[in-house]
Amino acid sequence: MSELIEFSLPMRRPSPFSPPALYTQLREHHPVARAVLPDGQLVWLVARHDDVRAALKNPLLSSDPRRPGFPEPDTSNRAPFLIEMDAPRHTELRKLLAAEFSPQRLAVLQEHIDGDATKLLDAMLAGSGHADLVAAYALPLASLTICHLLGVPYAEHAFFERSAVTLLSHDDAKKGEAFGAICSYFEQLLEEKKRHPSDNLLGRLIAGPWRAGQLSDEELLNIAVILLMAGFETTATMISLGVVTLLHHAGQLALLQSDMALIDEAVEELLRYHTPGDTDALRVAIADTEIDGQPIARGEAVIPLLWSANRDPAVFPLPDNFDIRREQRGQLAFGYGMHQCIGLNLARMEMRTALRRLFTRAPTLRLAIPLAELPFRYDSELFGLAALPVQW
């Protein structure tokens, strides 16, 4: 591979279940490779599992898109989101948020997820024997969960679904509009919560760190926005991709249906197999450093390929097989290191509940149109499905 590799964010996959062939070549021959983005920017691609982990643990690689050299730089003047911050402020905010994702808090959310999944399935299965699983189940379940987490009134969940989906489109004008609408909505909600304390994530952050002066108005708003943006569509996507993948691998689905205790393994394998946030963990070097012996100079961009790491045969033998009995751990769909997904256990809980309940209550579920005709979103920032027509 003597020529410069042309890379785009995201790199288009050749089929719903296969990463770009480039990833195999990179892992085998050029584990840390120079590539060029469509706008001409040079970046380093990191393809192997151990190198991706090392990169994500390296404090000299920054997540701040305002720094020169960052891939897809942010030129707006808004305050950074948690995902875009470096230590020490990032570490302080993570600490303030950690209690909100504790096992005790997640247990309360589990009850909501159970109740919502039951209601959504009651409504869907009472219908005519076919439905769009994205609209009827995956999207509302994920958006209701974020509403419960943040303390957003139930009536707003449809607005959130629309806005969050628009944020992932390629239409910059529409994206800007949706972002503005979400920010205005949260600004009002936070004012309301400051006047009337409530027992939910935003209410508790207001009563605690915000009142104590540890959290600014802007940081509070940004926490609400990033939890919605990072936590909703990702999880909804993994639920619908999970359904398609299990339906397509009938033997694996039969195994799961014969022993639902395998659901934890099935969820880990689905996350490894699809890794929807493949190129979410962008970085830039803030000082000279190295990855696997390759010098990376200050100001150079680094793209750890999470999906390539998750298909690395050095860690996952026969990595392109979908195998819910796989014993190897360490999949990187949630990233690694200081920015590792704060909602990872919530996402796992939602996926577990959604899939277990669906395949228990609708054991004869099947695709209503052939796999090749499903509207996969190949061009979206987050790979997924615009709709999933099913029958039972």
The reply on whether position 301 binds ligand HEM by CB under 6 A is no
Quick check: 168 and 381 in contact, CB under 8 A?
yes
Using CB under 6 A, which of 341, 355, 365, 388 touches ligand HEM? 341
CB contact at 8 A, 5 and 36: yes
Contact call for residue 273 and ligand HEM (CB under 6 A): no
Exactly one of 234, 245, 308, 331 binds ligand HEM (CB under 6 A); that residue is 234
Q: How far is the CB of 129 from ligand HEM (least distance, A)?
A: 29
Q: How many other CB atoms are there within 10 angstroms of residue 140's CB atom?
A: 22
User: What is the Cα–Cα distance from 256 to 251, expressed in whole angstroms?
Assistant: 9
Instruction: Tell me which stretch binds ligand HEM (CB under 6 A): 106-114, 165-173, 208-216, 231-239.
Output: 231-239
CA dihedral angle for residue 194, residue 232, residue 68, residue 380, rounded to 10 degrees: -150
| Binding span for ligand HEM by CB under 6 A among 122-130, 159-167, 195-203, 233-241 | 233-241
DSSP string, 289-300: EEETTEEE-TT-
Beta carbons within 10 angstroms of residue 258's beta carbon: 8
Q: Could you tell me if 223 and 82 are in contact, meaning their C-beta atoms sit under 8 angstroms apart?
A: yes
Out of 23, 334, 359, 383, point to the residue binding ligand HEM (CB under 6 A).
334
Helix intervals (H) in the chain? 22-29, 49-57, 89-98, 103-125, 133, 139-150, 157-167, 172-195, 201-205, 217-231, 233-248, 250-258, 263-274, 306-310, 344-361
Measured from the CB of residue 124, what is the shortest distance to ligand HEM in angstroms?
22
Residue 238 makes contact with ligand HEM by CB under 6 A: yes
Residue of 65, 80, 140, 277 interacting with ligand HEM (CB under 6 A)? 277
Q: At closest approach, how far in Å is the CB of 349 from ligand HEM? A: 9
Binding status of residue 347 toward ligand HEM by CB under 6 A: yes
276 touches ligand HEM by CB under 6 A: yes
Contacting range for ligand HEM; rule: CB under 6 A; set: 24-32, 171-179, 181-189, 223-231: 223-231
In whole angstroms, the minimum distance from the beta carbon of 153 to ligand HEM comes to: 18
Determine, following the binding rule CB under 6 A, whether residue 281 of this chain makes contact with ligand HEM: yes
The Cα 104–Cα 129 span in angstroms is 38
- Give yes or no for a contact between 360 and 260, defined as CB atoms under 8 angstroms apart: yes
Tell whether residue 10 is a contact of ligand HEM (CB under 6 A): no
The nearest distance, CB 324 to ligand HEM, in angstroms, is: 17
Contact status: 231 vs ligand HEM (CB under 6 A): yes
Give me the sign of the Cα torsion angle 164, 167, 173, 178. Answer: positive
Touching ligand HEM, residues 58-97 (CB under 6 A): 63, 82-83, 94
Asked if 260 and 267 count as a contact pair (C-beta separation under 8 A), the reply is no
342 is an interface residue for ligand HEM by CB under 6 A = yes
Nearest-approach distance from CB 333 to ligand HEM, in angstroms? 5
Q: How far apart are CA 28 and CA 51, in angstroms?
A: 13
Using CB under 6 A as the binding rule, the residues of this chain from 120 to 159 that contact ligand HEM are: 149
Neighbours of 184 (CB within 10 A): 10
Our finding on whether 384 is near ligand HEM (CB under 6 A) is: no
3-state secondary structure 229-247: HHHCHHHHHHHHHHHHHHH
343 counts as binding ligand HEM under rule CB under 6 A: yes
Instruction: State which of residues 65, 69, 319, 335 lies at the interface with ligand HEM (CB under 6 A).
Output: 335
* Binding of residue 54 to ligand HEM (CB under 6 A): no
Distances (CA, A) of 276 to 303, 318, 379: 15, 20, 13
Residue type, 278: D
Would you count residue 30 as binding ligand HEM (CB under 6 A)? no
| Residues at the site binding ligand HEM, with contacts judged by CB under 6 A | 63, 82-83, 94, 149, 226-227, 230-231, 234-235, 238, 276-277, 280-281, 333-335, 339, 341-343, 346-347
